[in-house]
Structure 1
Amino acid sequence: MMFNELRSGCGMGGEREGKPERAELRSQIDVGSPVPPESPSMSGDGKTLPLKVAEGQNGDSLLERISTGIEGLDVMLKGGLIKGRAYLIKGGPGSGKTILSMQILLEGAKRGEKVAYVTLMEPEDKLRENMSALGFDLSKVNIIDLSPTSDHPILMSVIEPEKGIDLNTFRSVLENILVEHVDIIAIDPITMFKAMMPETQYRAGILRLIRLFRRKLNSKSATVILISSSSELVDIEDYLVDGVIELRTVEVGGRIVRAIKIVKMRGSDFDEVLRPYRITDRGIEVYPDLSVSEV
């Protein structure tokens, strides 16, 4: 079901005629309003979405796209993320960064890809509990718990718990844990390392980390999702990745509305408009044909 059908009121349990009024859409998007009907994934067939770019002599040059599992976001991205690149998802507390990254991983698992989620703050049991409340089945997601309360044997063998883990040690730990290739990996939050080292070392460490995933994939290219809790408009990580997706809250007419913006996407056109989104009981929903000023 395409997005315009969702806007026309087609739900998973049946259909209804007519286009909803603007006031109805506003009530759905406003933070804290009732949850609208679930919208199915744009890539329900489990296929990647190819995007044609500069043609060679045979006219067959393609960049392979992968769906985020969020229909409206795929529309904003002109077909999804470009496979094998590094992306940054940034936003404040409660903005849905973890939910968004997990939806990307779950969509990859649905396609039969190997996916991994590295948690540096939230313990695995708490993460599973929170995601199960959204109906997310994490059975095919390799969760690597390197949070402060983790007792992962490899982690314990290389650090002193009271000192925590720095970026270089983290890279070494992952190198030992990831014995098989992964197609998509998310690290949440990458910014916890920033206070532990000078900016130049942090920048170099992030670049080495991205190269690590690609080197260990036996020439396969991993899609890397870095998650940032920074509220700065522009940060170091923004310059080091191929794409940046920002989750914000903005005030519109005295109401607080969640808004998503694609700040950067190398090698691709994208929707530059700030669009409203909601966190529903099924995950994140994005409204790509509305601007924040319209809700």
Structure 2
Amino acid sequence: MQLYSERVSTGVKGLDELIEGGLIPGRVYLVIGPPGSGKTTFGMQFLLEGARRGEKTAYISLIHKPEEVVKDMVRFDPSIYAYVNTWKLMLFDLGPILWRESTRVPTWRSVLSRIREIVEDEKITRLVIDPLTAIDFPQQDPVEKRVELAKFIRGLEDLGVTAYLIAEMIDLDRYSEEHYLVSGIIMLHYFMHEGRMIRAIQIFKMRGIKHDPNLKLLKFTDRGLVVYNKSPFEVEE
């Protein structure tokens, strides 16, 4: 059994303790959840943690304007501008470039080519791609689709970066190719329970890491997202 002494902190308070100290470096993780569940904030906290540790990190947007994402994060961490201005947290808006180059939805291959250039040129160690659903397959055959996605994920791993792929997931009973190919899946939830809205996080899958797959309480605080090692259904005092 291979043991991993080095870990990558998620930057989300309370989460590292649930996954044996953090993520395994150089792997690709999927962050999924419904709209408004905190996926982008979750990803930005991951990048900011790396920037604080002196790493070079990158947020790659395929739809949203990265500058707007930064503005949203200021309320949680005003220091984000310092990291952006010193190129510790780099912003890349690939959406307009990829759409201009092709009349169809950007493909895994075209996105990976751009990402490889960015990672190698800038020596990036942490990466967030948001959202994964902006990329489509040129093939219709399910087998070929899985092959293309496998090449995309393997390509990211070969670059040596620890990466988050952010994606929407509304139907929790429906799984697609990326769920089987990534090293880990982190689900963010929100739902009504006894007349109140609660948030939760679920470590659905984490290869090589012992983890608890049960729902844990997740909260938005003035410092961003925080995970609590307890059920979200517990009555708070």
Same fold by TM-score greater than 0.5: yes
Deviations 1:204-224 (A, max 9, x none): 222222222343x4xxx2212
Structure of greater Rg: 1
Tell me which residue corresponds to 2:49: 107
Tell me which residue corresponds to 1:205: 148
Query: How many pairs align?
Result: 225
Is it true that 1:226 corresponds to 2:165 in the alignment? yes
Tell me which residue corresponds to 1:173: 114
Counterpart residue identity of residue 293, structure 1:
F
Aligned-partner Cα distance in 2 for 1:253–1:186: 35
Task: State the 1:263 CA deviation.
Answer: 0.4
Task: State the 1:194 CA deviation.
Answer: 4.1
Is it true that 1:281 corresponds to 2:222 in the alignment? yes
Is it true that 1:244 corresponds to 2:185 in the alignment? yes
Q: 2:93 aligns with which of 145, 148, 159?
A: 145
Task: State the 1:163 CA deviation.
Answer: 3.6
Q: What aligned pairs does 1:39-54 form with structure 2 within 5 A after superposition?
A: 54=1
1:88–1:280 CA distance, 2 compared to 1 (3 A): same
- Kindly indicate whether the alpha-carbon contact (under 8 Å) linking 2:27 and 2:157 is maintained by their aligned counterparts in 1: no
* Structure 2: tracts of 5 or more residues without a match: none
Task: State the 1:78 CA deviation.
Answer: 2.3
Tell me which residue corresponds to 2:194: 253
Q: What aligned pairs does 1:182-193 form with structure 2 within 5 A after superposition?
A: 182-193=124-135
Is it true that 1:117 corresponds to 2:65 in the alignment? no
Aligned-partner Cα distance in 2 for 1:120–1:214: 20
Is it true that 1:71 corresponds to 2:13 in the alignment? yes
SS in 2 for 1:225: strand
* Structure 1: tracts of 5 or more residues without a match: 1-53, 56-60
- Kindly indicate whether the alpha-carbon contact (under 8 Å) linking 1:210 and 1:224 is maintained by their aligned counterparts in 2: no
SS in 1 for 2:116: helix
1:240–1:226 CA distance, 2 compared to 1 (3 A): same
Deviations 1:99-135 (A, max 9, x none): 1111111111122222111111111222222122322
Task: State the 1:191 CA deviation.
Answer: 2.0
Counterpart residue identity of residue 156, structure 2:
F
SS in 1 for 2:14: helix
Identity across aligned pairs (percent)? 37
Tell me which residue corresponds to 1:97: 39
Aligned-partner Cα distance in 2 for 1:74–1:178: 25
Counterpart residue identity of residue 292, structure 1:
P
TM-score (norm 2): 0.85
Is it true that 1:294 corresponds to 2:234 in the alignment? yes
Tell me which residue corresponds to 1:159: 101
Aligned-partner Cα distance in 1 for 2:20–2:157: 25
Tell me which of the two structures has the higher relative contact order, counting C-alpha pairs closer than 8 angstroms and 6 or more residues apart: 2
Task: State the 1:196 CA deviation.
Answer: 6.1
Q: Which runs of 4+ in 1 moved over 6 A?
A: none
Is it true that 1:80 corresponds to 2:22 in the alignment? yes
- Kindly indicate whether the alpha-carbon contact (under 8 Å) linking 2:112 and 2:156 is maintained by their aligned counterparts in 1: no
Aligned-partner Cα distance in 1 for 2:234–2:4: 36
> Which shows bigger deviation, 240-249 or 180-189?
180-189
Aligned-partner Cα distance in 2 for 1:63–1:178: 24
TM-score (norm 1): 0.69
Aligned-partner Cα distance in 1 for 2:50–2:91: 14
- Kindly indicate whether the alpha-carbon contact (under 8 Å) linking 2:217 and 2:227 is maintained by their aligned counterparts in 1: yes
Aligned-partner Cα distance in 2 for 1:93–1:197: 27
